[in-house]
Amino acid sequence: MVHALKEALRVLRAGGTLIDLRPISVDVPIFILTSSGWESAGLPSQSPDRVHDLVANRAIRDVVREGLLDKLKQVYFVTNYYWNEIKELQSDVDECWKEDVIVTKEIWQKARRLFKRGSGLRRILLPLRRKITVYRKIGS
């Protein structure tokens, strides 16, 4: 993030817009959705990725303090990810989020139990929190 921010500031003209869109490392539950409702399988830890959040936040804060960017607007929102099977979620966690999300054995076991116990149409939901911030470049 720090290197990307420096490069963005280098190429962005005065008055130009910089958009910072990224996930927030906040623990969120894995939900098992069934025709009769939903239940949480537990809270996977997103703590490994919090270091990246802190570094990115510090880099943006420093640039704003230096008077290079002006913060115009910030919005938080949720992106819902759905899977049809537990093994699909597990594959995505292993392949894409291996370094960022820790799902314990107990959470996987509970998710499987809830999924098997459910009736009708079943889905797995992971609601990830994100933020988007709009900045304007000040000066030259």
Residue 140 is predicted with a pLDDT of 64
- State the residue range of the domain holding 123: 2-137
What pLDDT score does 120 carry?
A: 86
At residue 1, the pLDDT reads: 62
Closest CA to 137 of 45, 19, 37: 19
Q: In whole angstroms, how far apart are CA 22 and each of 36, 55, 108?
A: 33, 13, 26
pTM: 0.82
Backbone angles phi, psi at 100, to 5 degrees: -115, -25
What is the predicted pLDDT for the residue at 84? 96
**Rounded CA gap, 25 and 44, in Å?**
11
Per-10-residue mean pLDDT of the chain, 140 residues long, equals 82 94 91 94 88 89 93 96 96 89 95 91 94 91
- Tally the domains of the chain: 1
